[in-house]
A = this chain, B = another copy of it.
Amino acid sequence: MNEPIRLAVSTVILALHPDPETGALVLRTPLVRRQREPFLDSWALPGGWVHPDESLEASAATSLLDTTGVRPRYLEQLYAFGDVDRAPSRVVSIVYWALVGGRETIAVPDDFNVRWFRVDDRPRLAFDHDRILEYALWRLRNKVSYSRIAQGFLPERFTLAELRAAHEAVLGRPLDPANFRRQIAGTDQVLPTDAMSTGGRHRPARLYRTNPALGFADNGPLSPR
């Protein structure tokens, strides 16, 4: 019992990618194949040990970049997982999560040991990482109902149809377009721009941008004050 508790960080990265066949947005997450026991060859959340001279958030960002090449605009702390039996030795994992938009994932090719999986069609993960991922998804679904977090998936300017598609992909169900438009219009979540969307099969639609006066919901005590 004198073995010290070891401290790790893991990250849940969620992105909306269009399905190559249907074009519908689907939630995907990058996973890393384990190179050692336990759970050799199983897929796991990206992560690593906390370095003594790095903050938790910096450790999470560094291990994420090293294992997957992903560099999100921000990381939010999700939860600290510390059950006694979650690993062969005692490991407490501080888990961070982030939503990433198109630009942050574009340069990340699939790799033998790093792969983006659909969250609803993934292998069984190492350790308690399935539970961690499910919790992140639950938090995300909860948060889209009271915050502008879904905008974290979108580029700087977007149409209301694109914003609705992001909500639908997170919630896993279709939303009524007119109701959605009314609900969004009743908040200060988005601001209209002077620009219209061009190209594509659809007729031009107003482009909106996020309201910079609002945060992406609770980003923890580390957010700028």
* Stoichiometry, copies per complex: 2
Contact A218 B142, beta carbon cutoff 8 Å: yes
Of A77, A82, A92, A131, the most chain B CB neighbours within 10 A belong to A82
Within 8 A of B (CB), among A126-172: 131-132, 134-135, 139, 142, 146
CB contacts (< 8 Å) of A218 on chain B: these are 139, 142
CB contacts (< 8 Å) of A2 on chain B: these are 52
Contact of A79 among B83, B132, B221 (CB under 8 A): B221
Contact A82 B53, beta carbon cutoff 8 Å: no
Contact of A52 among B52, B55, B83, B90 (CB under 8 A): B90
Per-position 1/0 for A80-96, Cβ under 8 A of B: 11111000001010100
Contact A50 B5, beta carbon cutoff 8 Å: yes
Q: How far is the CA of A5 from the CA of B24 in the complex (A)?
A: 45
Q: How far is the CA of A139 from the CA of B50 in the complex (A)?
A: 26
Main secondary structure of the interface of A (DSSP, over half): loop
Q: How far is the CA of A192 from the CA of B90 in the complex (A)?
A: 47
Contact B135 A221, beta carbon cutoff 8 Å: yes
Within 8 A of B (CB), among A31-85: 50, 52-56, 77, 79-84
Within 8 A of B (CB), among A1-36: 1-7
CB contacts (< 8 Å) of A79 on chain B: these are 77, 220-221
Instruction: List A residues at the B interface (Cβ < 8 Å).
Output: 1-7, 50, 52-56, 77, 79-84, 90, 92, 94, 131-132, 134-135, 139, 142, 146, 218, 220-221
Q: List 23 A-B contacts (CB under 8 A).
A: A1-B53, A4-B4, A4-B6, A5-B7, A5-B52, A7-B92, A50-B92, A52-B84, A53-B84, A54-B84, A55-B82, A55-B83, A55-B84, A56-B80, A79-B221, A81-B221, A82-B94, A92-B94, A131-B221, A132-B221, A134-B221, A135-B221, A146-B146
The 3 closest A-B pairs by CB, nearest first: A56-B82, A135-B221, A4-B4
